[in-house]
C-alpha cells in the first residue's frame, strides 16, 4: 500500500508538513499522501489521539497513519511502528496511539531504532521529518516492519475516561471540542441506549434529554445529540456550544437516568 495519512500540530503557515512530504516523495515518488489534520492544538496529544481514532478506520487496508504531535521530541521518548490487522501507525510513544491500541487488541508494537531507515542527518527537534516520515515511506516500498526494531510490550497510554454510574445518574466528561463548537463527551449510544434520559447538566447549564437532530430545537438553543462519531455531543442549533459554555477537556457532565 502506498497510501500515507498525516496528522500533526504543525498548522498550515510553516513548511514543516511540506518538508515531511518532500522526504517521503523522495523515497517513494508514487506514495499517496493524505492530510488527516494539521490543525491539532500545539502539543495536544489527547486531541490528536481522538482525531486519529475517528478517521483511521475509513481508509483502505494497508494505509500507514503517521502522527507527529511530539512535545518530547529529542528526549528519551521512543518512536513506534504499530501493525494492526488492517493498518500501520508511526508515532512517538507518548500516548497518542492510546485509542488505537485500546481498540486494536491484536496490535504488534515495535520500537523504531534501525537508523538504516532514518535520514542521514537527524535533527533533535524534527523527528517527524527525519525519522517518522522516512520510516513510513520505506514501508510503502517494502515490508520493513520486522526490521525497524524490537517488539515493545509497554507503549505509553493515557487513562481514557469511562462514564461512572451512581444512583440515578451517570457522570462523564468532555473529550473534544470541534471546529463548530460542538462539545464531544465520552458518553456513547451503546452506554446510554439502555436508559431513559432525563436532565443533562454541564457547567451549570441544563438540557432536557437527547434529540435526534440540531433542528429539533429552536435556533441558538442548546441541545444534546449523538454526533457522527457515535458520541453524545452538546451543541447549539446554528451556533456554537463552546462559545456559550466555554468547556474544557475534562469538564464534568451529569445525566439523570432511569432503567427502561
DSSP for 109-153 reads EEE---GGGS-SS--TT-HIIIIIHHHHHHHHHS--GGGS--B-S
Using CA atoms, how far residue 158 sits from 94, 102, 148, 166, in Å, is 8, 11, 25, 24
Does one domain contain both 81 and 8?
A: yes
Q: Domain of residue 174: give its range.
A: 164-259
In a domain, 77, yes or no: yes
Which pLDDT score, from 0 to 100, does residue 1 have? 73
Query: pLDDT digit string (tens) for 231-256?
Result: 999 999 999 999 999 999 899 999 99
Does one domain contain both 171 and 110?
A: no
- End-of-domain residue from the set 80, 115, 147: 147
In a domain, 158, yes or no: no
Grade residue 210 by pLDDT with cuts at 50, 70 and 90: very high
The CATH number of whichever domain residue 118 belongs to comes to 3.40.50.10790
Average pLDDT, the chain: 95
Does one domain contain both 184 and 245?
A: yes
Q: Is the pLDDT of residue 162 over 90?
A: no
In a domain, 159, yes or no: no
Residue 93 near residue 33, CB atoms below 8 Å: no
In a domain, 225, yes or no: yes
Write the CB contacts of 112 (distance below 8 Å, at least 6 apart in sequence).
Answer: 78, 79, 80, 81, 90, 131, 132, 135, 148, 149
In a domain, 156, yes or no: no
Does one domain contain both 111 and 18?
A: yes
Does one domain contain both 100 and 189?
A: no
Query: pLDDT digit string (tens) for 90-140?
Result: 999 999 999 999 999 999 999 999 999 999 999 999 999 999 999 999 999
Residue 70 near residue 124, CB atoms below 8 Å: no
Cell 521530541 appears where?
73
In a domain, 204, yes or no: yes
Query: pLDDT digit string (tens) for 45-72?
Result: 999 999 999 999 999 999 999 999 999 9
Does one domain contain both 117 and 10?
A: yes
- End-of-domain residue from the set 147, 182, 198: 147
Which pLDDT score, from 0 to 100, does residue 161 have? 82
In a domain, 155, yes or no: no
Does one domain contain both 134 and 216?
A: no
- End-of-domain residue from the set 92, 119, 147: 147
Q: pTM of the predicted model, to two decimals? A: 0.92
In a domain, 87, yes or no: yes
If residue 242 lies in a helix (H) or strand (E), which one and from where to where? helix 241-245
pLDDT above 90 coverage of the chain, percent: 93
Does one domain contain both 17 and 47?
A: yes
Look at the chain and report how many structural domains it folds into.
Answer: 2
Does one domain contain both 186 and 247?
A: yes
Grade residue 163 by pLDDT with cuts at 50, 70 and 90: very high
Which pLDDT score, from 0 to 100, does residue 180 have? 96
Does one domain contain both 84 and 192?
A: no
Does one domain contain both 50 and 97?
A: yes
The CATH number of whichever domain residue 202 belongs to comes to 2.40.30.90
Does one domain contain both 41 and 170?
A: no
Amino acid at each position: 500500500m502506498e497510501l500515507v495519512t498525516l496528522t500533526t500540530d504543525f498548522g498550515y503557515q510553516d513548511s514543516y508538513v511540506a518538508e515531511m512530504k518532500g522526504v517521503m516523495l523522495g523515497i517513494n515518488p508514487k506514495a499517496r499522501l493524505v492530510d488527516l489534520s494539521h490543525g491539532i492544538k500545539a502539543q495536544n496529544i489527547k486531541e490528536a489521539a481522538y482525531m486519529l481514532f475517528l478517521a483511521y478506520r475509513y481508509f483502505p487496508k494497508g494505509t500507514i497513519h503517521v502522527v507527529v504531535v511530539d512535545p518530547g521530541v529529542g528526549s528519551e521518548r521512543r518512536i513506534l511502528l504499530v501493525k494492526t490487522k488492517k493498518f500501520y501507525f508511526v508515532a512517538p510513544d507518548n500516548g497518542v496511539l492510546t485509542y488505537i491500541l485500546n481498540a486494536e487488541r491484536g496490535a504488534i508494537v515495535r520500537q523504531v531504532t534501525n537508523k538504516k531507515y532514518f535520514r542521514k542527518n537527524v535533527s533533535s527537534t524534527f523527528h517527524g521529518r527525519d525519522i517518522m516520515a522516512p520510516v513510513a515511506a520505506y514501508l510503502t516500498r517494502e515490508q520493513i516492519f520486522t526490521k525497524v526494531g524490537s517488539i515493545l510490550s509497554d507503549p505509553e497510554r493515557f487513562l481514557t475516561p469511562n462514564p461512572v454510574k451512581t444512583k440515578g445518574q451517570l457522570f462523564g466528561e468532555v473529550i473534544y471540542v470541534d471546529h463548530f463548537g460542538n462539545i464531544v463527551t465520552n458518553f456513547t449510544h451503546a452506554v446510554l441506549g439502555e436508559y431513559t434520559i432525563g436532565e443533562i447538566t454541564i457547567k451549570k447549564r441544563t438540557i432536557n434529554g437527547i434529540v435526534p437532530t440540531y433542528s429539533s430545537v429552536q435556533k441558538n438553543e442548546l441541545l444534546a445529540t449523538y454526533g457522527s462519531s457515535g458520541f453524545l455531543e452538546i451543541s447549539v442549533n446554528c451556533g456554537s456550544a463552546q462559545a456559550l459554555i466555554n468547556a474544557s477537556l475534562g469538564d464534568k457532565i451529569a445525566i439523570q437516568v432511569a432503567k427502561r
